[in-house]
């Protein structure tokens, strides 16, 4: 870490004060701390190799492109007799120009909703059904903030044994765009 104070800069490795510019500080680090500088370069190269191609690079278009989020692919959302809701959805980031899938992630949801049954309904044998809609939501994405994606499930649980219903409004896990896996 380096701290700049006017025309003097403090070296973050040895706390020595260097008079001049950032170029002078880099020269100092190269002369006095070559092993740390080499380790830093190796870390940067390893990060570049590990990351591989950017998810913003479309091989079909052969250029860097803007991304758009797709509609969620429903892998099944179920409700059991106690009102426990579980399911998973797949989201993809697509190329704006050609709609090629560039990155994907799997989102899951587990929650419970209480449904108040009528007295005549036998809750031991009651079967609940779920009528739902999926919508993609986004948060953040401004400067220096993560772009988060999630799926909102809205709908209604109804009992087959009586006319009891309960509203459903749930959110899946929130996933940062950097955690999407590349499809290419």
Q: What is the pLDDT of residues 94-122, one digit of tens each?
A: 999 898 888 888 888 888 888 777 776 76
pLDDT digits (tens, 9 = 90+) for 132-182: 888 888 888 777 778 888 898 898 888 877 778 888 888 888 888 878 888
How high is the pLDDT of residue 125? 61
The residue assigned the tokens 């492109």 is 65
Q: Are 182 and 52 in contact (CB under 8 A)?
A: yes
> What confidence category does residue 128 fall into, taking pLDDT thresholds of 50, 70 and 90?
confident
* Residue 4 pLDDT: 46
Distance CA(156)–CA(79), nearest Å, equals 11
Query: Phi-psi bin for 140: left (phi > 0), alpha (psi -120 to 50), beta?
Result: left
Cα(151)–Cα(158) distance, integer angstroms: 22
Sign of CA dihedral 176, 179, 183, 184: positive
Q: Where are the domains of the chain?
A: 3-51, 71-182
CB 164 within 8 A of CB 114: no
Question: How many H-runs (helices) and E-runs (strands) does the chain carry?
Answer: 2, 14
Q: Which of 149, 156, 145 is nearest to 171 (CA)?
A: 149
Burial class (CB in 10 A: 0-12, 13-18, 19+), 149: buried
**Rounded CA gap, 135 and 9, in Å?**
51
Look up residue 123 and give its two tokens: 């809750």
Taking only the tens place, the pLDDT of each residue in 11-70 is 767 777 877 776 777 777 777 777 776 776 666 565 555 554 567 788 888 888 888 888
Q: Looking at residue 122, what is its pLDDT?
A: 64
What pLDDT score does 5 carry? 47
CB 49 within 8 A of CB 42: no
108, 163 Cβ separation under 8 angstroms: no
Q: Go through 27-45 and write b for each residue having 16 or more CB atoms within 10 A of its CB, e for each that does not.
A: ebbeeebeeeeeeeeeeee
């Amino acid at each position: 870490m380096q701290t700049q104070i006017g025309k003097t800069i403090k070296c973050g490795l040895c706390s020595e004060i260097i008079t001049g510019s950032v170029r002078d500080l880099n020269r100092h680090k190269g002369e006095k701390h070559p092993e740390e500088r080499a380790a830093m370069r190796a870390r940067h190269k390893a990060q570049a190799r590990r990351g591989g191609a950017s998810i913003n690079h479309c091989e079909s278009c052969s250029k860097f492109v803007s991304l758009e989020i797709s509609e969620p692919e429903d892998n099944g959302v179920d409700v059991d007799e106690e009102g426990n809701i579980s399911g998973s959805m797949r989201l993809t980031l697509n190329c704006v120009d050609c709609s090629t899938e560039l990155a994907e992630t799997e989102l899951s949801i587990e929650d419970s909703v209480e449904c108040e049954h009528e007295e005549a309904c036998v809750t031991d044998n009651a079967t609940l059904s779920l009528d739902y809609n999926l919508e993609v939501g986004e948060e953040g994405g401004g400067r220096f903030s993560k772009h988060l994606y999630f799926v909102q499930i809205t709908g209604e649980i109804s009992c087959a044994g009586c006319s009891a219903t309960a509203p459903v409004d749930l959110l899946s896990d929130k996933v940062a765009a950097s955690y999407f896996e590349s499809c290419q």
